[in-house]
Amino acid sequence: MTDTHDAARSGRPAIGHSTVDGIRVVTLSGEIDHTVRDRLGQALLPPADAGRPRTVIDLSGVTFMDSSGINALINAHHAAEDTDGWLRLAGPREPVLRIMRMVGIDLLIPCYPDLRQALDK
């Protein structure tokens, strides 16, 4: 796992993983762009042995996201649906939320104001 706290302060992208009540939580921080496309894509895909994967992506530490990040979210959403699982987004900051709304990803993937709400639903 990457230290997301130090990375977020520097703007460098970081990806963290944890599990809360059987739900996989992927925590992203920093700037999400083409430089992390491959690493991000792999991190967001459900594990092969996940069965029906339940994943929440915590976006509260993301300061910028371009189309590479949007595409990774869409791919992760489709991968979860293909195995009868689900994907939720949590806590996007206003600049990221604005981009998500412009492309309509907030209509495709359930989006919650914070991690707690995404885990409770």
Cα–Cα dist 105/66, whole Å: 13
pLDDT digits (tens, 9 = 90+) for 17-60: 999 999 999 999 999 999 999 999 999 988 888 788 999 999 99
Mean pLDDT of 79-89: 94
Q: Is the pTM of this model over 0.85?
A: yes
- φ/ψ of 18, rounded to 5, equals -155, 175
Share of the chain above pLDDT 70, in %: 91
**Alpha-carbon distances of 118 from 10, 34, 35, 81, rounded to whole Å:** 27, 27, 28, 17
Mean pLDDT of 69-76: 96
Predicted confidence (pLDDT) at residue 4 exceeds the cutoff of 50: no
